[in-house]
Structure 1
Amino acid sequence: MQTETLMKFHVRTLLSSAALLGLGAASMSAQALDYSGYFRGGPGATKSGTARACYHLNEGAGNGIAHGLNYRLGNECDIYGEFQIDQKYVKDGIEYSGTIMVNHYSNSTDQNGSGFNFEQLFAEAKGFDVMPEATFWIGKTRGRRGDVHIVDWFFTDMKGVGAGVKGIGVGSGKLGFAWYKTDGDQTKPGNRLNVEVLGLNSNENGKANLFFTATKGQFDGGTGGFGASLRHDQSKLFGTGLSNTFWLQVATGSASLESNFGDLTRKSSAKSLRIVESINWQSGAFGGQAIALLGSSEDNDGKKTTASTLGGRVSYGLSKNFKMVAEAGVSQYKPEGGESARLTKVTIAPTLSINSDFWSRPELRLYVTSGKWNKAAGNVTGQAGFADKTSGTSYGAQVEWWF
């Protein structure tokens, strides 16, 4: 009952916020209200008759170096949605925009979960005479700059509460910088500075993007950190319809590889390195995405953890609205002095969609997923019924929709 009341309150809050945005801009010229979002959900079960199960390696291993190792098709045991409203208008030559995004998460099929939370809440403006081409912003924002969809991970994710400016012309690219503050734990506040240069011409059909991060824990025992990432985007790879994205990322101390805060007590001797290669293609009815990842991290004591994955998802359109989709991946991580934790996951999913392309959404899927892991990986499902097992089969249905 409390959960239902809380959810109703959050929904009313969202609708009220949207109404205020619209009323506040009613007298402005060139106004526009945009709505976008994403959601996924559906029922699932296992061959063994236990509760629905998904197969994931421990992403927290090695100070997060194991992020990006888990393949999502037929392997998401949650219900998740995010819904965004943008109000845009122009006044006296200045372009203003206010954004509200709420999200909801539930780790089961029940009608409960985290309620609705404000994932983004920020304002931005462009056209000031001091710097006409730049966009100034303040608030809570994601700052996401690239993901690999099949593993559901953003490898640059500058989310948080902050203020900054972006879109400053630098050669062929755009410069941006921002200051973020973390104080959810008021005994361990921290500051973060992010600098980015986006869209630098690097080669024919190629763009380079640079990201730099500096962090500092503002408390007794708090540490500093630094991170740097290169992301290269290439279209028409080798003159084909392939496109690829390559990341080279390093971080030390309290900075994370994702250009965000890490552990604000990690010493400067702690460091991480990650290389990611992702390709995408669509050739006629055949489309897909693949990833290869190598990572290494050392903790405060110099203990190393390595991680790797290789996998992909393919789709083949059998008609305009029906396609067969399959996904497979092999992932592992190994702490120094310990055994390698290994997981292999395979999914087959007959799918209905608006057309047969890999990226077309919404998708209505049936799926069967098989997972196999070793003892060192532990119970990768988190379900008590799998405590002494090293394999499992799940099946179910899922909708995925972005709009």
Structure 2
Amino acid sequence: MPLRTAAITLGLLAGAAGLASPAQALEFAGYLRSGVGTTAGGGDQACFKLPGAETKYRLGNECEQYAELELRQPLLTLDDGSVLRVAGMVSLFNAYGRDLTLRGDDGAVRLPQLYAQWSNLPALNGGSLWAGRRYYKRNDIHIADFYYWNQSGTGAGIEDVAIGGRTYSYTLSRKDNLYQTAYTTRHDLHVAGFATNPGGGLELGVSHIDRPGRRDAHAGWSLSVQHVQQDFLGGKNTLALQYGQGPGTGLGYTGDVGLDASARRYRLVEFFDWQAGPRFGGQVEAVYQRDIRRDGKGQHWMSLGARPAYAITEQIKLVVELGHDRVWAPGGMHSLSKLTVAPTWSPRGPAFWSRPELRLYYTYARWNQAAQRAANGMAAGSALSGTGAFGPALHGANVGLQIETWW
């Protein structure tokens, strides 16, 4: 559905319900990370990511400036208490060592969100209708910036309809993100609110990818089950199990439509956020993923990592991040270990999630020869390759300064 058509449709529906009050103040939110970095030898900072791994540990290992600005404008509040609003987001990406002219690979300005939403509808028991391009029901591990279950896309949906103590959502989307080249229809059904134990809740999601209209394409599906335990050892624990076939191996995203049902992916995600008192907090994670492919390209990926943070004073923290990735692939077992130490100034307090943070960091990484061989075959440059920033060495280091904040 075109964005203009979606906005007009929601506007007509709102008008039919009757107006109660004029537009409210503009709302905004945002995210920013920016800094400077260099290799220990004096070249441009080169970030460490293992070939075949879905993600990387991000503290002291981000080689770009990135910013998002989101604006939300309530247009109408109706007599029944429902609200019609529009929202949009602009993002900026620019790699370290590049200028800001935004030509070619130097950077990008994007519009990742632009949608209309009619929320708090009594007819939907407090649910909402929306249409457009939207970040939607994103689940991520912060220390790895890993969105393991992400239903974002360009489309329309019915969100969080309350029935019998649970909430139901359905989305039809045509494109996951700005970088997907071909439109593919994806259906997502999400159910939340299953109380399993005191402080614990379960949510389920099923995704189906329709077969595109060409002979070499296939349909696919995936299933995600997630349990979140609040007040666990002073924090929150999340456990997710996921399975997909064919294009459903994207596990929430739209995967390769050239894969048939013989391609399967299994994934287990476990991570724990804690705040033990006002000064000691952090996040620890474990991911295991297995890909089965009859074309011989199947692999296993395992990732273990932690980021503890201890506040020495009300505003000064010592943050450490240790991550290890392994990939068992046809070319051998690739491995990468990465350690970052980051003295950090946090003016809003000592908690792990307090932002902004200004970090001075030192990052050291080691990898094996199989990882270097795999990196040599990558189309883009890699810090792990024999022609990368660290040459034939199997280790390297970066130093830098970074600010991160959100509001």
Q: TM-score range by the shorter chain?
A: 0.7 to 0.9
Task: Kindly indicate whether residue 397 of structure 2 is the aligned counterpart of residue 393 of structure 1.
Answer: yes
Secondary structure, aligned partner of 1:254: helix
Secondary structure, aligned partner of 2:89: strand
Report Cα offsets for 1:283-309 as digits up to 9, x if no partner.
121111000111100225254200001
Secondary structure, aligned partner of 1:190: coil
Structure 2 residue runs of 5 or longer lacking an equivalent are 1-19, 376-381
Partner of 2:364: 370
Q: How far, CA to CA, are the matches of 2:250 and 2:193 in structure 1? A: 20
Where does 1:73-88 land on structure 2 (aligned, <5 Å)?
Answer: 73-88=59-74
Partner of 1:111: 100
Q: How far, CA to CA, are the matches of 2:35 and 2:315 in structure 1? A: 20
Task: Kindly indicate whether residue 303 of structure 2 is the aligned counterpart of residue 309 of structure 1.
Answer: yes
CA contact (8 A) 2:37 2:96 kept: no
Partner of 1:201: 195
- State the one-letter code of the partner of 1:261: T
Q: How far, CA to CA, are the matches of 1:302 and 1:392 in structure 2? A: 32
Q: How far, CA to CA, are the matches of 1:255 and 1:217 in structure 2? A: 11
CA contact (8 A) 2:65 2:93 kept: yes
CA contact (8 A) 2:46 2:389 kept: no
TM score, norm. by length of structure 2: 0.86
Query: Structure 1 residues 361 and 219, CA, compared in 2 at 3 Å: closer, same or farther?
Result: same
Q: How far, CA to CA, are the matches of 1:296 and 1:356 in structure 2? A: 38
Cα drift, residue 28 of structure 1 = 4.7
Partner of 1:264: 257
Q: How far, CA to CA, are the matches of 1:187 and 1:391 in structure 2? A: 36
Partner of 2:132: 139
Q: How far, CA to CA, are the matches of 1:325 and 1:187 in structure 2? A: 39
Q: How far, CA to CA, are the matches of 2:46 and 2:328 in structure 1? A: 24
CA contact (8 A) 1:333 1:342 kept: yes
Task: Kindly indicate whether residue 87 of structure 2 is the aligned counterpart of residue 99 of structure 1.
Answer: yes
Where does 1:124-273 land on structure 2 (aligned, <5 Å)?
Answer: 124-128=117-121, 130-182=123-175, 188-220=182-214, 221-237=216-232, 240-273=233-266
What is the number of equivalent residue pairs in this alignment?
Answer: 370
CA contact (8 A) 1:269 1:302 kept: no
CA contact (8 A) 1:248 1:276 kept: yes
Secondary structure, aligned partner of 1:377: helix
Match of 2:351 among 349, 357, 371: 357
Q: How far, CA to CA, are the matches of 1:228 and 1:318 in structure 2? A: 44
Task: Kindly indicate whether residue 113 of structure 2 is the aligned counterpart of residue 120 of structure 1.
Answer: yes
Query: Structure 1 residues 120 and 391, CA, compared in 2 at 3 Å: closer, same or farther?
Result: same
Cα drift, residue 91 of structure 1 = 3.0
Q: How far, CA to CA, are the matches of 2:122 and 2:311 in structure 1? A: 51
Cα drift, residue 144 of structure 1 = 3.4
Secondary structure, aligned partner of 2:194: strand
Secondary structure, aligned partner of 2:400: strand
Task: Kindly indicate whether residue 42 of structure 2 is the aligned counterpart of residue 32 of structure 1.
Answer: no
Secondary structure, aligned partner of 1:219: coil
Aligned-residue CA RMSD (Å)? 2.4
Cα drift, residue 54 of structure 1 = 1.1
Q: How far, CA to CA, are the matches of 1:384 and 1:129 in structure 2? A: 58
CA contact (8 A) 1:187 1:219 kept: no
CA contact (8 A) 1:74 1:396 kept: yes
Secondary structure, aligned partner of 1:235: strand
Q: How far, CA to CA, are the matches of 1:294 and 1:333 in structure 2? A: 10
Q: How far, CA to CA, are the matches of 1:307 and 1:328 in structure 2? A: 17
Aligned-residue identity in percent: 32
Q: How far, CA to CA, are the matches of 1:185 and 1:346 in structure 2? A: 31
Q: How far, CA to CA, are the matches of 1:283 and 1:186 in structure 2? A: 42
Cα drift, residue 252 of structure 1 = 0.5
CA contact (8 A) 2:125 2:163 kept: no
CA contact (8 A) 1:270 1:297 kept: yes
Secondary structure, aligned partner of 1:31: coil
Q: How far, CA to CA, are the matches of 1:81 and 1:229 in structure 2? A: 30
Query: Structure 1 residues 257 and 187, CA, compared in 2 at 3 Å: closer, same or farther?
Result: closer
CA contact (8 A) 1:217 1:265 kept: no
Where does 1:316-331 land on structure 2 (aligned, <5 Å)?
Answer: 316-331=310-325
- State the one-letter code of the partner of 2:47: C
Secondary structure, aligned partner of 1:289: strand
Report Cα offsets for 1:216-246 as digits up to 9, x if no partner.
2322121000100011110122xx3131101
Cα drift, residue 49 of structure 1 = 2.3
Structure 1 residue runs of 5 or longer lacking an equivalent are 1-26
Secondary structure, aligned partner of 1:199: strand
Partner of 2:12: none
Cα drift, residue 107 of structure 1 = 1.4
Query: Structure 1 residues 127 and 278, CA, compared in 2 at 3 Å: closer, same or farther?
Result: closer
Secondary structure, aligned partner of 2:389: helix
Q: How far, CA to CA, are the matches of 1:265 and 1:224 in structure 2? A: 9
Cα drift, residue 116 of structure 1 = 2.0
- State the one-letter code of the partner of 1:124: Q
Secondary structure, aligned partner of 1:301: coil
Partner of 1:67: 54
Q: How far, CA to CA, are the matches of 1:150 and 1:328 in structure 2? A: 10
- State the one-letter code of the partner of 2:222: G
Q: How far, CA to CA, are the matches of 2:108 and 2:185 in structure 1? A: 29
